[in-house]
């Protein structure tokens, strides 16, 4: 079986992992209720979209 010839240093490991991270969702604030919401989606809090109530706030 093939095996590593050399030990992997801590620096190598952490360099590889430098770009491993989660990205935060691009939330914006609902213009109606000011709760955070995803862009291009109906506000899950108040059911408004593009200045109108488009779904029942309970069902959203």
Partner 1 sequence: MRHRAAHRKLGRTSSHRLALLRNLATALFDKERIRTTLPKAKELRPWAEKLITLAKREDGRVHARRLVSRDVQDAAVAKKLFDTLAPRFASRPGGYTRILKLGARKGDGAEMAIIELIGSEFQPGKKEAAKKEAEKPAKEEAKAADKPAKADKPKAEKKAKADKPAKAEAKPKAEKKPATRKKKADAAE
| Smaller CB separation from partner 1, 12 or 31 | 31
Closest by CA position to 54, among listed 42, 41, 39: 42
Q: How far apart are CA 12 and CA 3, in angstroms?
A: 18
**Cβ of residue 20: shortest distance to partner 1, in angstroms?**
22
Report how far residue 36's alpha carbon sits from residue 54's, in angstroms, rounded to the nearest whole number.
17
Give the nearer residue to partner 1 in terms of CB position, either 15 or 36.
36
Q: Which residues bind partner 1 (CB under 8 A)?
A: 38, 40-42, 44, 47, 49, 52-56, 60
**Measured from the CB atom, is 33 or 54 closer to partner 1?**
54
């Amino acid at each position: 079986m093939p095996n590593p010839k050399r030990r992997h240093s801590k620096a190598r490991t952490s360099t590889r992992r430098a770009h491993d991270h989660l990205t935060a969702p691009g939330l914006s604030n609902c213009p109606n209720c000011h709760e955070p919401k995803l862009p291009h989606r109906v506000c899950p809090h108040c059911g408004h979209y593009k200045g109108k109530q488009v779904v029942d706030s309970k069902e959203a």
